[in-house]
Amino acid sequence: MKRLNAMLFAVTITASLITGCGSSSESVPDSSFENVSSESSEISSFADDDENYNTGDALLDNTRNQDEIGENELLVLSFGTSFNDNRRLTIGAIENDIEKAFPDYSVRRGFTSNIIIDHVKKRDGVSIDDIDESLQRAVDNGVKNLVVQPTHLMNGIEYDELVGKIADYSGSFEKISIGEPLLTSDEDFKEVEKAITEWTSEYDDGETAICFMGHGTEAESNAVYTKMQDMLTADGYKNYFIGTVEASPTLDDVMNAVKAGNYKRVILQPLMVVAGDHANNDMAGDEGDSWKSAFEKEGYKVECLIRGLGENERIRNLYISHAQKAIESLSGMSATPVQNTENTEKSPVYASDLNDGEYKISVDSSSSMFNITDCTLKVSDGKMTAVMTMGGTGYLYVFMGKGENATESEYIPFEEQSDGTHTFTVPVESLNTETDCSAFSKKKEEWYDRTLVFNSDLLPDEAFKNSENTELKDGEYTVEVSLEGGSGKAKIESPTKLTVENGQAYAEIIWNSPNYDYMICDNQKYLAVNTDGNSVFEIPVSAFDEKINVSADTTAMSTPHEIEYTLYFNSESIKNEED
């Protein structure tokens, strides 16, 4: 018991911004609920206010308060919202995607705001579990392994209280694990930046200021808004602005920043998981103190995007990855993170490109619950097959295609090995390309669609027919180089200078910004070789025709920040400067 309690309280991923918005009559915040004790005095705000608007049909939403949970539960805890349609499109969408990603877990819902729960119950006749009810439901159903994934936005006070509440039930379960909020690691910030900039790219025309409204908190965690703003600015999104309703940056701060540019139009969108009261009223309302009205008074054409972050697939995938980490912390559970199946820069490799033989390869999966722990590629007579060793035994068959198209004659059954593991032997048409694969769950008796990518990265040189290493004589050359990573705004010059000395190649990396002070390659730090103009580095080239991981430190933010990138040097583009 003590060990489990200590483990729970050691989860210091505290967060104050939680998911939802209320109805326009709610006085509770959309996200960060700092003063929980004030709830009881605010319950009457619903009862005294007759709504004159329609928030959608509550019956379309899955409240996920069913029994018959089983031994494994994944409880998604949200602040909540009484905006029915947006609750379904955000919180509901997150829950649905988590359920698809983890078919071995029963996904259930809990809200932390009893004000919202009571209002939805009174207005719509729909019951939603609060924290105690959702935890007690798990106890009554005999749940052994409980994973809790909050839809908090960032670290803060309420998450501490949530962890404490869960700790009160620690003796009722064999194992408990709690997932992280949305914005926890630097990688989380990068992914959220990609999500919001890609989501609004159609409005990024050079004459439009794109403004996101967060909730804000008096706690130290409010610094996440400044960090996100600094990252956007450093990555070239100078027309993107972050503000808050309750803290800083304020509306005035955002307004002054927009006025400093030559913008004709303003796009407003909430930086909140759901689009509820704050989004509909404080941001997009017709009242004189709304963000929309304030910008219109200054002569801007304003367009409001009433959509919560939970409607964005990248955001939902980030919650899935956090839930996966929580599952990994449970002893004996899967230890493979959710994989990214994007391999856009890798060329397909076919059986005709390879020599016959058996080779170890890696496999990316769109679902961490389809956990491939080992894979052997077999090449013979112009065909490829892969023997996939699974991390669990929850699937009876796989089908190479969408589950809706599965026919019994094409089912591929598992083979049980001497150590008890299950393997599936599947045909492979090509490496480095996305392949549809469906898995039939033993427990749910349903097909779950996955996307696999069989990678060529681990193949040795001798696996390829007519493989040749790039060998260069000492001298000076040029080579085309491409950059990936960060937000996608950073650029480098290509082609660039390539110098070979004593058989070692060195490349000149010229950035489109003067704000990089060092790079890290192969765990070695390299300082900029110039003091004026855009940052320039000379770094060793460890390989051609494959992605090389590097880091670059930018000083454009309020504090220096290392950003991860990959470089790709194309050997076919190498030219001798004397030619």
What pLDDT is attached to residue 369? 62
Contact residues for 395 (Cβ-Cβ < 8 A; gap 6+):
370, 414, 422, 424, 439, 440, 441, 442
Check residue 370 and give its pLDDT.
Answer: 76
Q: What is the pLDDT of residue 151?
A: 94
Q: Is 215 a catalytic residue?
A: yes
Separation CA 39–CA 33 (nearest Å): 10
Residues 6+ apart with CB under 8 A from 344: none
Count up the domains in the chain and report the number: 4
Same-domain pairing of 178 and 210? no
Host domain of residue 38: 2-182+313-328
Task: Assess whether 211 and 76 both reside in one domain.
Answer: no
506 and 487: one domain? yes
Specify the pLDDT at position 448.
87
Q: Is residue 433 part of a domain?
A: yes
Q: Give the pLDDT score at 53.
A: 62
Establish if 336 belongs to a structural domain.
Answer: no
CATH number of 85's domain: 3.40.50.1400
Predicted local distance difference test score (pLDDT) of residue 336:
38
**Are 355 and 457 in a shared domain?**
yes
Predicted pLDDT at 262: 92
Whole-angstrom Cα distance, residue 166 to residue 175? Answer: 12
Q: Are residues 549 and 499 in the same domain?
A: yes
List of residues 6+ apart from 339 with CB closer than 8 A: 364, 365, 366, 368, 453
What is the spatial order of strands in the sheet that 175-178 belongs to?
Answer: 106-111, 72-78, 145-150, 175-178
In a domain, 334, yes or no: no
* 321 & 296 share domain: no
Residues 304 and 321 in one domain: no
The whole-number pLDDT of residue 368 equals: 54
The residues that bridge with 148 in the sheet, in sequence order, are 75, 178
Residue 97 confidence (pLDDT): 96
The reported pLDDT for the residue numbered 472 is 80
Q: Which pLDDT belongs to residue 64? A: 96
| pTM to 2 decimal places | 0.55
Confidence at residue 542, expressed as pLDDT on a 0 to 100 scale? 83
Could you state, in chain order, the average pLDDT of each consecutive group of 10 residues for the chain (579 residues)? 37 32 36 33 39 78 94 94 93 96 95 93 94 95 94 78 76 87 93 95 93 87 91 94 93 96 96 92 92 96 96 96 90 41 63 90 79 90 93 87 93 93 95 93 83 92 63 87 86 94 88 92 88 92 88 82 90 80
Predicted confidence at residue 322, as pLDDT, reads 95
Domain identity same for 176 and 28: yes
Residues 454 and 485 reside in one and the same domain: no
Q: Are residues 551 and 564 in the same domain?
A: yes
Name the active-site residue from 119, 152, 215, 422: 215
Q: List the strands of the sheet with 395-399, edge to edge.
A: 363-365, 447-454, 434-441, 395-399, 412-413
What pLDDT does residue 432 have?
92
